[in-house]
């Protein structure tokens, strides 16, 4: 199974220098008051595994005040092998990401090396937020399943950016030149975009029965959850792009394609983002990621590392235990202000005070 053996942090957030070695019991509870650095530890694990943060898109905030760089060194076991991961996050120079001392060709390749799924309070946006949140969720999960999917996501994004740049510069070329260039990029986008949408839709079809069952279990049978992948075009994507070309040129953006698709979520036949209560939306967000954990376990043959950032504290002990019980058995790293009663008898506890470990 995927397992973080240890991770060393140097000048990461408020941690000057430390080694975090999770417990061997399966569940490690990192407890401490807010603002003392407990979330920073699991963020470091997430960054080493994915090359990104689940809290910020700005890398400078990851570097400790007064330092020019942050260093992460992790040892992880996955798929029966040990990996060493070295990350250097730099203010003024290019970041580095090494796996077994070799530079990773693409940062997104990290996701297919180490399966990690994090749960955090902002997951509510998966239900009530913009379609981009849901598309990103699907693409991140596909990237964990295979490197080919990871590279397809990158390639589709690259094509969309190139087409967008062409649309914005169209007034500097003749109409014939613009149409010729768009013909080329439309073929590329149709090929990659259709493939990506097909993979997303296949994933959603696999997740649907898992999510329906998990929602029943966590909600006590209250309501039927359904998910459906919705494309922004009908029929052939290349034909849709050509048909929409005049509008795209006028608006200077691509109006149809996988970047306009959505994951539709319903509860009792009604759109969850509009009709579900906040508690129901919260349960749906748990279910989406828990379903992905189960599917990863099934398809990769091992459970992902699960990161729970201040999730169980929102629930009573019975529901908190239910959330843990539906997860595949593996490594869980969780943060809380105090040890959740649902795990106090089985978790190894590490206490954090002012960016350092303290005696429990």
Q: What are residue 316's phi and psi, to 5 degrees?
A: -75, 165
Check residue 341 and give its pLDDT.
85
What pLDDT score was predicted for residue 320?
Answer: 82
Q: What's the pLDDT at 360? A: 52
Per-residue pLDDT of the chain (360 residues; tens, 9 = 90+): 899 999 999 999 999 999 999 988 899 999 999 999 999 999 999 999 999 999 998 999 999 999 999 999 999 999 899 999 999 999 999 999 999 999 998 888 899 889 999 999 999 999 999 999 999 999 999 999 999 999 999 999 999 999 999 999 988 778 888 999 999 999 999 999 999 999 999 999 999 999 999 999 999 888 899 999 999 999 999 999 999 999 999 999 999 999 999 999 999 999 999 999 999 999 999 999 999 999 999 999 999 999 999 998 777 778 888 888 899 999 999 999 998 888 888 899 999 999 999 975
> What architecture is the 1-115+302-360 domain classified under in CATH?
3-Layer(aba) Sandwich (3.40)
The CATH architecture annotation of domain 121-301 reads Up-down Bundle (1.20)
pLDDT of residue 166: 95
pLDDT of residue 340: 82
Domain range annotation of the chain: 1-115+302-360, 121-301
3-state secondary structure the chain: CCEEEEEEEEEECCEEEEEECCCCCCEEEEECCCCCCHHHHHHHHHHHHHCCCCCCCCHHHHECCCCCEEEEEEEEEECCEEEEEEEEEECCCCCEEEECCEECCCHHHHHHHCCEEEECHHHHHHHHCCHHHHHHHHHHHHHHHCHHHHHHHHHHHHHHHHHHHHHHCHHHCCHHHHHHHHHHHHHHHHHHHHHHHHHHHHHHHHHHHHHHHHHHHHHCCCCCEEEEEECCCCCCHHHHHHHCHHHHHHHCCCCCCHHHCEEEEEECCEEHHHHCCHHHHHHHHHHHHHHHHHHHHHHHCCCCEEEEECCHHHCCHHHHHHHHHCCCCCCEEEEECCCCCCCCCCCEEEEECCCCEECC
pLDDT of residue 295: 97
Residue 70 to residues 21, 60, 65, 215: CA-CA distances in angstroms? 19, 9, 10, 40
Q: What is the pLDDT of residue 1?
A: 85
Q: What is the pTM of this model?
A: 0.94
């Amino acid at each position: 199974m995927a397992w973080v053996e240890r991770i060393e942090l140097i000048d990461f957030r408020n941690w000057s220098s430390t080694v975090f070695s999770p417990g061997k019991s399966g569940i490690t509870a990192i407890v401490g008051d807010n603002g003392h650095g407990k979330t920073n530890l699991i963020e470091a694990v997430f960054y080493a595994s994915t090359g990104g943060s689940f809290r910020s898109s700005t890398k400078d905030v990851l570097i400790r005040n007064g330092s020019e760089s942050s260093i992460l060194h992790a040892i992880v076991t996955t798929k029966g092998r040990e990996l060493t991961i070295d990350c250097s996050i730099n203010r003024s120079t290019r970041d580095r990401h090494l796996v077994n001392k070799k530079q990773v060709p693409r940062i997104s390749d990290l996701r297919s090396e180490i399966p990690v799924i994090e749960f955090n309070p902002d997951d509510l946006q998966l239900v009530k937020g913009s379609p981009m949140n849901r598309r990103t969720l699907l693409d991140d999960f596909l990237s964990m399943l295979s490197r080919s999917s990871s590279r397809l996501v990158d390639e589709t994004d690259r094509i969309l950016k190139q087409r967008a740049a062409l649309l914005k510069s169209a007034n500097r070329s003749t109409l014939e030149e613009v149409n010729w260039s768009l013909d080329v990029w439309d073929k590329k986008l149709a090929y990659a975009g259709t493939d990506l949408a097909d993979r997303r839709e296949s994933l959603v079809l696999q997740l649907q029965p898992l999510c329906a069952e998990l929602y029943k279990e966590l909600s006590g049978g209250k309501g039927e959850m359904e998910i459906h992948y919705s494309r922004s075009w009908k029929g052939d994507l290349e034909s849709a792009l050509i048909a929409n070309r005049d509008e795209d040129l006028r608006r200077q953006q691509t109006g149809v394609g996988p970047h306009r698709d959505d994951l539709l979520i319903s509860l009792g036949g009604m759109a969850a983002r509009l009709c579900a209560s906040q508690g129901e939306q919260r349960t749906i967000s748990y279910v989406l990621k828990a379903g992905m954990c189960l599917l990863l376990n099934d398809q990769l043959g091992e459970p992902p590392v699960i990161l729970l950032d201040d999730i169980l504290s929102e629930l009573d002990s019975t529901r908190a235990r239910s959330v843990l019980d539906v997860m595949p058995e593996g490594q869980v790293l969780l943060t809380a202000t105090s040890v959740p009663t649902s795990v106090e008898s089985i978790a190894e506890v590490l206490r954090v005070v002012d960016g350092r470990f303290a005696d429990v």
